[in-house]
Amino acid sequence: DGDGPAALSVVLHKPMGIVSAQPEPGQTPAARLLTRAALVGESPTIPDRDTRLAPLGRLDMDSRGLLLLSDDGVLAKAIIGPESDLEKEYLVRVTGKITPEKIARLCHGLVMDGRQLKPAKVSVVEGQQLRFILKEGRNRQIRRMCELVGRHVMDLVRVRIGSLQLGDLAEGKWRVLTPDDRAALIRG
């Protein structure tokens, strides 16, 4: 239509217990957190119940961290389109001992739903905390990868999508995606 409002894209630090997209009854969708009170910096508009912002890359209800919500089709294609090659980075706390063998299995060679996963970069940050860098986002992928090596995820935070960092954005807060952020994500 061309005369509608400009595309809006926001960066949200999603808390646990909030769903990315379509809520079941009794669940809170992430877009409901986009209030003036939770805004960091300026926004041309404060989303309301009629604002249709889709999550660009889901984040499970029991995960937290960086969630992009947008009605920008070009940006959506860059992040979740079939050609997208953007890395997504997660900090993951797991139960039990992490052996080099388990790390090696997580990096290569796991099969999920009968399909080989793309290689992942997985490293130990310290103790029980791992860093996962993925280029795909199958349903509950990290949790299921960990289960395949006999480990259970206790905490999962997405800290980066491509060049976009969660940074020091506090949990439950949001900001508008800057033109520079957007351009960098689209460049990949």
Active site residue 60: yes
Q: E strands of the chain, at which residues?
A: 9-14, 18-19, 28-29, 54-55, 64-70, 88-94, 111-112, 115-116, 121-126, 129-134, 153-161, 164-165, 174-176
Partners of 161 in the β-ladder: 88, 164
Interatomic CA distance for residues 142 and 106, integer angstroms: 9
1, 48, 60, 155: which is the annotated catalytic residue? 60
Name the 3-class secondary structure at 93.
strand
Catalytic annotation, residues: 60
